[in-house]
Structure 1
């Protein structure tokens, strides 16, 4: 015994070192050796710190006061495969730091062991599967060995020996027959026994299962293949169940798959249960089931969803028709027009042709018509024969009959169309029968003829009278037309009649002088084209509607200034006519121009021929008269003295006379100055409002330029160095001459702004044609833009054919001319007027119009070019001309 002394203390194993034996193949937990220690104050309990050879097959369990060396079972020590001896080193340490290390030698002993399986039979039941119908042969090979001698022969056997299996000396197991799953046992339990030469044996369990294969065809087992269901069942309604079996499934729940081979939309089948259900609501009243309400389906059963054995059968499903449809009509409201002259028993309408019943069964599709009611039923309309739907007229429909109680002669009937089979569906139909009036009568005028009178002065649209006709037909509309007699020479359709009311009106003026009496044929036509005519006489009443017409209508005369009173002027006579007035009905008067009443007509009334005479002498020398040319308007009125129907209307004709007064024997009178021309300046803004920006831009630009120019002048004056610049003298060296008062020239200037020349005249001096503006007085020579600038000429009086002067020339009749002014500041285009001296006191020219004049503008840039010139008003005096 070895003792180790360390740290002043002694720890001692009791029973170690030692040698022990152990049988091979011991399981875990087998005690190999037991020992103890001399102290209980251990810091490190006994433990295995090493082994030779190295192994983990042992451990130390503490069972104080003893310690046990036991097997761990990992690995299991086998004499044939592991070392036969192990040296185990055990170590401990107490609290005094004393240690001890001892060795335990374990020697394995060989024992006789039975054979062992080297395959799955060693630890489980092995299952072998054999398909039915498979040929006999090897199903399993057993692997076993003897632990002591792997080369020793082993003996193999099967239990029970009567099973259809054999095992060879080498352990090969074979089947001896072809198995049928449907007739043979479904499985076999075999015990495989292996024995060694020493008589020890080991058993293994082998389970052989026969596998069913799909080698049989399913067959149907239901007893009926015909089913009957009513129509209109909801989806999901069960029609029936298809049942079948598969011989392959004997003793097991059958797993078959069902399907419908026939294409259809009404039924479905559960593929696992075979239950046939309604998939869609079935209506045998519509095509195609309306023609055939029997549905045939081909059902297929198979033992696999696909590629298995299958079988087919045919089933028939009969669909029963139900009375589920009421009679159906293409329309339920009808409107019939029946002439009022229709005879009794006339068929009004056959309602049956509009209605059908969609039910298939003849019993269910039959219907009739009952319950006619409403206004006019039974007394005027009935269903004949009963239930047929034929509505027949049985009463009077005279539209004009006051006993006809229908509103507007329209009857409303209701009738029921009803199934004859339960549940007797019905619907209501409405028939509206309107009595149509027949045009039986022609219009009749309320008078055999009509006579009206109308003045020829009545304007168009004047009402002459009314034509009225009636018609016995109820609510018949009458239209009035003029068939003939309503026109005359030069005027067509003088009369118009309102087609609805018969109101006769003037469509044009009627002329008594053209035609005095009109005879019209008026036609009254009803809505059925029946008509009547009547004669209408219209008397045209004469009225004073014609104006006097005189010859000549206008004339120009010349009268000497010394003409005697009462003298016929130039033998002028006025001859007048009037279609509706006599020769004695004319009156003559002056409307205008007879200044101082110098002229008169003789006679002034009562004759259609009159002469123009001088009634009051002229007084030019004393200033009583100043007018040399008289433009007069003569009025000729009538009193309609011969009209059969006196009228308050007086018609007036007109004549224009121009009389020039002249001085007999007066020759040419020279003038020292050019005739004075008065220009009237008229400014007219003709620019378009759309061009507002043009003056705006021009004005802004001008202001900017003026400002820039002023700035430049200011800068030059302030900063430009001028050599020799001295202080200016307060008094000039040379005194200027005294200022003379200069007479300022008056300049007449005309601003021409888009002048429009709207008249022409002939210059009596030059004979040239000039154009003038009637508003502004501006003038220019025709076919040129040059203004009229007259030269100084002598003013002459016109001379008559006897060598005497026929009258004075009025300066106001002289065309205005533009004349250059001698003013140095005047422009070339500025205009001026000159006075006309030398005119006698008694023969003054007519006063001229005062006009606006303006001196020359010294700073035209300060005024807008579009603004008119403003001129001071000056009234030029006309100097008197010596006699």
Structure 2
């Protein structure tokens, strides 16, 4: 950084000087310049080259503004500088950087020196410096010029050149080389090459030589440098062992890290220095290791003298190698033998260590149980270490056992083990311990466990308790219910599990087994429904078993009678029709119910109608006390006043039995019910005979009910009704035409109407009329009780017409009609006469009455029966 600043200042000064010269203000201020001077080459720093003064006017007191400065040199160099000598005297000196070398640098330098006083006057002059030559000492070059040279020579190397000295004379004169002392086995040639004169042996010759190398020029000037030559030792000798012992004895089971031997060796190459030898074991070894640096042999694995292969061959051979280099060095090997000695380090072992023996409870005392000697051994090799004996028999109940001797180890039983004897402890398993112990020190021992299980002997049969077994069971007991329990005991100890089973009996014709017994609890359950009427008593055999011995017992099950049978009636369903004018008290169609009950007296039956008997038109006679009852009409039908509206009656008849043939237990008195279903259709009285009926039209009235918020409903209904009404009008026109041309009015043909239907004024309602033309099939016939004439009817729709043939029917109902029927027939004659006096318009209105449909009308609707006419529904 300073050099850059100085160069910058010089550049600025040179610029100012040139500026002053150009401006014409140059003044002679440097006294003694220009001038020529000289200096010797290689002059050091601070050598004076030339002195000069700076002159200023005596009248001026300004002094020097810019000191004399070398502003430029030719050729350019920094080898010179200007120093002040005091006042206005100055001198040019050498800087020593770079050193002026006559042979390599320019011979002459022109220095431009500039000065300026405070009045602004400047001066610039040139000082020429010539470099003069002088005779210099020779110089060493290369490594010898900057340091003491060290040369290394390997031992065993044959004589050869080991180094080339590099020296030069500044004046390029020829130089002479010499070597001291002369006694060393080295020489130097005229060209400066250093040679060895022998093959060195590191173990015999000096390890280091010091040589003084002198170089001299023709004028006698010389320079001297020292060369240090070191002989390098090479590995050319084999090491040798210094340890003489080859056999070592150690006891087994030494701890890891125990030192077995200290193997030592030496290397002739290292006689005067610590040996750098490396030790190793060449054989495959798991018990020992050797320190590679010190040769200490140590234990690295557990040695068991009693295990193979040492049990048979108790010696270990090792091949130890010493090497003077980690790899590819000189080696030597020796073999050592290590003998392993046996110690008493094992306790006697028994296999198994726990003995299990089963003994029957009736085993006699003195019985031999186990010989422990056959299962125990000591694996120590030395006989003095593997002898042992048996002692210390102990454990709860050990007084019942004994060892014959400490040597044999034979265990025998000395007591009795009967488990059923209260005097003996009921112990199933005896736990005994025996010590097996070394005779030799340190007397290792082991504990042997002997488990003697007293095996129970099944000596007794199971015995049933609480005999005999009689169970009274109601016949209505649910399937799966428990009806009783059997129990058996066994005197054997410990108590054995007794299992129960049914081995005989307990079945019927329909079921192989109707009883089940719990195998472990003896709980008896039923698998099928008991029936007193089929079997009143069951006897079966139960067996109790303890897996080896078994005992049987008889079980009696008495079935108790219960009213569990419901009446069975014939028929249980019946369907028929009756005329509307049937007389009260009439046995309807001669129908009767006959009932049977397996567990009830026929006099116990009661009959009542539970459902469908609207206005109580029907009843049974007798209503109780007989197994046969007839269906009777109890009250007259009344459709004209609107009391009756349904033409079909579905009667649900219940038949109950309220007593038993023989009641043993009043608490089990139950009532069973039979059910019979009757379907009765009431047939209206026909008043007009119709020879042919191609069909009839059904007009349905329905109230127009809809939500006012659903505006589209009336629109759609109205539109659809108009379209349907147009269609129905057209169909009605065709029907009227057909009737007028082909079918004369039935009322006029016979002169007497079937039924008089009084007109009733009904409230006016908004209705939607639907007309449906149906073809009628007449599949039944009946006699009009008023006129006595025959008419045909449809069993599904109720439509009817006079039968063409007026032959009277057989008097099938004559015996069923009571005196009330006669009265009704008289009333019917009066009604017929009244009907004949009606106006023709009334007769035509009667002809349009619709037939009754099979379905019951819905709530709020009424229907008017008539000849194949119209049926109006509100």
Per the TM alignment, residue 161 of structure 1 is displaced from its structure 2 partner at its CA by 1.5
- For 2:192, the equivalent position in structure 1 comes to 171
Q: Verify: 1:211 aligned to 2:232, yes or no.
A: yes
Is contact 1:89–1:103 with CA below 8 Å preserved after alignment? yes
Per the TM alignment, residue 383 of structure 1 is displaced from its structure 2 partner at its CA by 4.9
For residues 390-411 of structure 1, give each alpha carbon's deviation from its aligned partner in whole angstroms, at most 9, with x where no partner exists.
65433221110112234xx234
- For 2:208, the equivalent position in structure 1 comes to 187
Query: Do the aligned partners of residues 155 and 873 (structure 1) sit closer, same or farther apart at CA in structure 2, a change above 3 Å counting?
Result: closer
Pairing partner for 1:341 from 362, 369, 386 = 362
- For 1:135, the equivalent position in structure 2 comes to 158
Query: Do the aligned partners of residues 488 and 311 (structure 1) sit closer, same or farther apart at CA in structure 2, a change above 3 Å counting?
Result: same
Structure 1 distance, partners of 2:629, 2:65, is: 184
Report the TM-score when normalising by structure 2: 0.58
For residues 82-116 of structure 1, give each alpha carbon's deviation from its aligned partner in whole angstroms, at most 9, with x where no partner exists.
67777767665544556677777767666555544
- For 1:413, the equivalent position in structure 2 comes to 431
Query: Do the aligned partners of residues 59 and 354 (structure 1) sit closer, same or farther apart at CA in structure 2, a change above 3 Å counting?
Result: farther
- For 2:83, the equivalent position in structure 1 comes to 61
Structure 2 distance, partners of 1:82, 1:545, is: 152
Query: Do the aligned partners of residues 214 and 871 (structure 1) sit closer, same or farther apart at CA in structure 2, a change above 3 Å counting?
Result: same
Is contact 1:84–1:107 with CA below 8 Å preserved after alignment? yes
What are the residue-to-residue correspondences of 1:458-473 with 2, within 5 Å?
470-473=489-492
Query: Do the aligned partners of residues 363 and 517 (structure 1) sit closer, same or farther apart at CA in structure 2, a change above 3 Å counting?
Result: same
For residues 558-589 of structure 1, give each alpha carbon's deviation from its aligned partner in whole angstroms, at most 9, with x where no partner exists.
xxxxxxxxxxxxxxxx99999999xxx98698
- For 2:418, the equivalent position in structure 1 comes to 398
Per the TM alignment, residue 553 of structure 1 is displaced from its structure 2 partner at its CA by 13
What are the residue-to-residue correspondences of 1:14-53 with 2, within 5 Å?
24-32=41-49, 41-48=63-70
Per the TM alignment, residue 341 of structure 1 is displaced from its structure 2 partner at its CA by 1.5
- For 1:806, the equivalent position in structure 2 comes to 812
Structure 1 distance, partners of 2:116, 2:496, is: 148
Is contact 1:459–1:508 with CA below 8 Å preserved after alignment? no
Pairing partner for 2:860 from 856, 860, 872 = 872
- For 1:696, the equivalent position in structure 2 comes to none
- For 2:459, the equivalent position in structure 1 comes to 440
- For 1:772, the equivalent position in structure 2 comes to none
Pairing partner for 1:841 from 791, 815, 827 = 827
Query: Do the aligned partners of residues 640 and 369 (structure 1) sit closer, same or farther apart at CA in structure 2, a change above 3 Å counting?
Result: same
Structure 1 distance, partners of 2:100, 2:530, is: 159
Is contact 2:251–2:343 with CA below 8 Å preserved after alignment? no
Per the TM alignment, residue 185 of structure 1 is displaced from its structure 2 partner at its CA by 1.8
Per the TM alignment, residue 137 of structure 1 is displaced from its structure 2 partner at its CA by 2.1
Per the TM alignment, residue 42 of structure 1 is displaced from its structure 2 partner at its CA by 3.6
Q: Verify: 1:125 aligned to 2:186, yes or no.
A: no
CA RMSD of aligned residues (A): 7.0
Structure 1 distance, partners of 2:288, 2:298, is: 6
Per the TM alignment, residue 60 of structure 1 is displaced from its structure 2 partner at its CA by 3.8
Structure 2 distance, partners of 1:578, 1:390, is: 84
Is contact 1:550–1:653 with CA below 8 Å preserved after alignment? no
Pairing partner for 1:763 from 779, 799, 821 = 779
SS at 2:397 equivalent:
coil
SS at 1:139 equivalent:
strand
What are the residue-to-residue correspondences of 1:104-503 with 2, within 5 Å?
112-117=135-140, 120-148=143-171, 150=173, 152=174, 154-222=175-243, 228=250, 231=253, 233=255, 243-262=264-283, 271-272=292-293, 282=302, 284=304, 298-314=319-335, 337-346=358-367, 371-374=392-395, 376-383=396-403, 385-386=405-406, 392-406=412-426, 409-413=427-431, 415=433, 420=438, 433-444=452-463, 470-474=489-493, 475-481=495-501, 483-484=503-504, 492=512
Per the TM alignment, residue 44 of structure 1 is displaced from its structure 2 partner at its CA by 4.1
Structure 2 distance, partners of 1:528, 1:156, is: 127
Query: Do the aligned partners of residues 229 and 789 (structure 1) sit closer, same or farther apart at CA in structure 2, a change above 3 Å counting?
Result: farther
Query: Do the aligned partners of residues 524 and 437 (structure 1) sit closer, same or farther apart at CA in structure 2, a change above 3 Å counting?
Result: farther
Query: Do the aligned partners of residues 10 and 377 (structure 1) sit closer, same or farther apart at CA in structure 2, a change above 3 Å counting?
Result: same
Is contact 2:239–2:323 with CA below 8 Å preserved after alignment? yes
Query: Do the aligned partners of residues 599 and 843 (structure 1) sit closer, same or farther apart at CA in structure 2, a change above 3 Å counting?
Result: farther
Structure 1 distance, partners of 2:91, 2:572, is: 175
Is contact 2:65–2:117 with CA below 8 Å preserved after alignment? yes
Is contact 1:26–1:71 with CA below 8 Å preserved after alignment? yes
- For 2:549, the equivalent position in structure 1 comes to 530
Query: Do the aligned partners of residues 555 and 673 (structure 1) sit closer, same or farther apart at CA in structure 2, a change above 3 Å counting?
Result: closer
Structure 2 distance, partners of 1:589, 1:117, is: 159
Structure 2 distance, partners of 1:413, 1:588, is: 78
Structure 2 distance, partners of 1:494, 1:381, is: 56
For residues 733-769 of structure 1, give each alpha carbon's deviation from its aligned partner in whole angstroms, at most 9, with x where no partner exists.
xxxxxxxx99989999999xxxxxxxxx993349xxx
Is contact 1:670–1:795 with CA below 8 Å preserved after alignment? no
Structure 1 regions of 5+ residues with no counterpart? 1-5, 557-573, 621-629, 661-668, 676-680, 682-698, 711-740, 752-760, 767-777, 781-786, 812-837, 846-854, 857-867
Is contact 1:637–1:653 with CA below 8 Å preserved after alignment? no
SS at 1:841 equivalent:
helix
SS at 1:205 equivalent:
strand
Structure 2 distance, partners of 1:779, 1:265, is: 116
Query: Do the aligned partners of residues 511 and 75 (structure 1) sit closer, same or farther apart at CA in structure 2, a change above 3 Å counting?
Result: closer
Per the TM alignment, residue 182 of structure 1 is displaced from its structure 2 partner at its CA by 2.5
SS at 2:269 equivalent:
helix
Query: Do the aligned partners of residues 220 and 441 (structure 1) sit closer, same or farther apart at CA in structure 2, a change above 3 Å counting?
Result: same
Query: Do the aligned partners of residues 742 and 123 (structure 1) sit closer, same or farther apart at CA in structure 2, a change above 3 Å counting?
Result: closer
For residues 177-236 of structure 1, give each alpha carbon's deviation from its aligned partner in whole angstroms, at most 9, with x where no partner exists.
1222222222222122334444443323222222333333344445556585875846x7
Is contact 2:186–2:195 with CA below 8 Å preserved after alignment? yes
Query: Do the aligned partners of residues 73 and 536 (structure 1) sit closer, same or farther apart at CA in structure 2, a change above 3 Å counting?
Result: closer
Structure 2 distance, partners of 1:596, 1:12, is: 174
For residues 426-473 of structure 1, give each alpha carbon's deviation from its aligned partner in whole angstroms, at most 9, with x where no partner exists.
7767655443321112345679x9596969979698999887655432
SS at 2:398 equivalent:
coil
Paired residues, number:
697
Query: Do the aligned partners of residues 875 and 402 (structure 1) sit closer, same or farther apart at CA in structure 2, a change above 3 Å counting?
Result: same
Is contact 2:462–2:546 with CA below 8 Å preserved after alignment? no
Query: Do the aligned partners of residues 540 and 73 (structure 1) sit closer, same or farther apart at CA in structure 2, a change above 3 Å counting?
Result: closer
Per the TM alignment, residue 28 of structure 1 is displaced from its structure 2 partner at its CA by 3.5
Is contact 2:437–2:445 with CA below 8 Å preserved after alignment? yes
Structure 1 distance, partners of 2:529, 2:463, is: 31
SS at 2:201 equivalent:
coil
- For 2:612, the equivalent position in structure 1 comes to none
Question: Quick check: 869-878 or 64-73, which moved more?
Answer: 869-878
Is contact 1:796–1:809 with CA below 8 Å preserved after alignment? no
Structure 2 distance, partners of 1:554, 1:121, is: 147
Is contact 1:545–1:580 with CA below 8 Å preserved after alignment? yes
Structure 2 distance, partners of 1:651, 1:99, is: 161
SS at 1:129 equivalent:
strand
